[in-house]
Structure 1
Amino acid sequence: MNAHLKALGAVALVLIVAALGWFGWNSQQPQKASPAATRGLESLPQFKVENLAGKVVSSEDYAGRVVIVNFWASWCGPCVEEIPSFVRLKETLGNDIQILAISNDNTREDIDIFLKSFPQFKGPGIEIVHDIPKDFPLTKMFGVYRLPESFVFTKSGRMIRKVVGTIDWASPDAVDFLKTLIAQEAEPAVTPGAADVGRPGEAGAESSH
């Protein structure tokens, strides 16, 4: 009896996982973000930070561009699984799409070690930023509580899509959705809803993540 119940449980688990995979992108693909998705964040916040090369990256750099802001870490298994799809997305859409990858790694060394094994993630149009450990100002600014988590912003800076968890960013549905945004003319600029994070490159203590 117990073996039979365990078998039924295993089958149910497989069906649930399959269903989640099938609905992965489509279930999160409204043309406009729902009120729940935009709660507390309706537009691309104002920020100014340094990328891994020491170059200052700011929200103003993405004016008039469709951008995906992705929160990740090298210790996060689902994040690492998702990263190749970002690379394939860039290969498909090129400079029409911009990706800002914000790392929650404890140290810069952790990021460097990961990038040595996956250098494609440093390609053109992908900016990698190390959020300041412990304080994590960017993570707090975007209201992120788990990894991975991603936000899609229109050319006018409006947040149109929030994705919690892993999806295939290079899937036909995802690419078509992003192509639609790219083809749209920029709307009137949205007033950013958050303040500057402060000095770029500030040192911090080890992450509590």
Structure 2
Amino acid sequence: MTRYAYFGLFLVALAAIVYVLMSAATGKPDGNSYQGFAKGEMAKLDFGSAGQPIPAGTFTDTDTTQQTLEIFKGKTILVNYWATWCPPCEKEMPALGALQTARASDKFEVVALSVDSPEDAEYAKRRLTELGAANIAFRHAPMDNGDVIYGAGVRGFPTTILYGPDGIEIARLAGDADWASADAVQFIDAAIKNAAR
């Protein structure tokens, strides 16, 4: 080979190395480290929005104050957007309650945000208990004040989004799931363990 051919190969190799390094240096988590845990019931997880920050919109907290999801920073949270008029939402609520019972700690919490209308807030609060999720604090984010909903890119209900303690999205699941399944608990455990590093 001529000297020019070697030089050309060197430039191609150098460009490939620079591309790989630049891709790795973006620092944006893409969920790939969790995809190995997305099995069984969790195979429906979507990692396409991984790396997005917690939305800035507000919701009404248990003490009726306006809060943002920022209050959970430092904790891995599973945010579930649900409504009483949504049968799949109600179907998965007992499993979310069971997950909260199994894993709630200073490192993890299930955050259920009811998107019911303000007139239905008391009914939604009561329904949360009736569905076997009394251990999940009632929080309300009506759709007419939907910054916390639409800011998260929620397009249907239920939608459940896992955020790390840094407030960055890990994965999301549109539709209902068995959040108390062994696959779901393993996925949540992996997220909590990874956050502890």
Cα offsets for 1:144-195 (capped at 9, x unmatched): 11111110011222211110000001100110111111122457xxxxxxxx
1:79 counterpart = 2:95: no
State the partner residue of 1:142.
Answer: 152
CA contact (8 A) 1:42 1:159 kept: yes
Cα offsets for 1:64-116 (capped at 9, x unmatched): 211011111001000000100010001111224212222221234x2322433
User: Structure 1 vs Structure 2: percent identity of aligned residues?
Assistant: 24
Corresponding residue to 2:60 among 50, 54, 58: 50
Corresponding residue to 1:104 among 104, 112, 115: 115
Letter in 1 for 2:43: S
State the partner residue of 1:158.
Answer: 168
TM-score (norm 1): 0.65
Q: CA deviation at 1:45?
A: 2.3
Letter in 2 for 1:99: V
CA contact (8 A) 1:155 1:186 kept: no
Corresponding residue to 1:68 among 72, 78, 98: 78
* Residue 63 to residue 181, structure 1, CA distance change in 2 (3 Å): same
State the partner residue of 2:10.
Answer: none
Q: Secondary structure at the match of 1:111?
A: helix
Q: CA deviation at 1:135?
A: 4.3
Flag structure 1 segments of 5+ consecutive residues without an equivalent: 1-22, 188-209
CA contact (8 A) 2:70 2:167 kept: no
Cα offsets for 1:14-51 (capped at 9, x unmatched): xxxxxxxxx7624235xxx63xx218x71212344322
Letter in 2 for 1:27: A
1:25 counterpart = 2:41: yes
Flag structure 2 segments of 5+ consecutive residues without an equivalent: 1-38
Which has the larger Rg? Answer: 2
- Give me the CA root mean square deviation: 2.5
